[in-house]
Amino acid sequence: LFSCCDCTLTYYRKKEDPWNAILSGAATGGILAARAGMKAAGKSALVGGVILAAIEGLNLVVMRVVMPYFEKQQTVEVDTLMPPVDPLKPRNPIKRKPLFDRNADPSSSPLLTGGSGFGSFGGGGGFASPSSSSSSSGQWDAPGFG
């Protein structure tokens, strides 16, 4: 009900100021107590207006007196032209080795030479090179299939 009154006053007055909230508080108090009679509605409207005037007055004091004090105490300068620094990003990134060397000879890979590594499961080597294979195709053949 308060918001309804506040928005209605803002629309008709074409202003957004503390008087809207004060009058809305008074109207809300009066509307809620209207069933008890005119005298009770008037008292409730007065109390609602006084309560909202106190709240708006305190808000005004905070905004005009207290906030400038804290703004003067602020030591952090904010540069609006630079993007903000991500606090979760590490400042010194970890340098890691690449997973493989693009310039290395592929025949020296443990997967292809038959040495220790993933290609030597079950007693067989990896892939055999064309020179050591008995296959005449000249391509890389898997042992036992050629």
Instruction: Kindly tell me if the per-residue pLDDT of 35 is higher than 60.
Output: yes
Beta-bridged to residue 128, according to DSSP, are 141
In the chain, what percentage of residues exceed pLDDT 70? Answer: 66
Instruction: Kindly tell me if the per-residue pLDDT of 144 is higher than 80.
Output: no
pLDDT of residue 26: 94
Rounded Cα distance between 141 and 114, Å, is: 12
pTM of the entire predicted model: 0.46
pLDDT tens, position by position, 90-138: 777 677 777 777 777 766 666 665 555 454 455 554 454 455 444 455 5
Judge contact between 25 and 49, C-beta under 8 A.
yes
Rounded Cα distance between 1 and 21, Å, is: 12
pLDDT of residue 99: 74
Q: Which residue has the higher pLDDT, 128 or 73?
A: 73
What 8-state DSSP symbol labels residue 65?
A: I
pLDDT of residue 71: 77
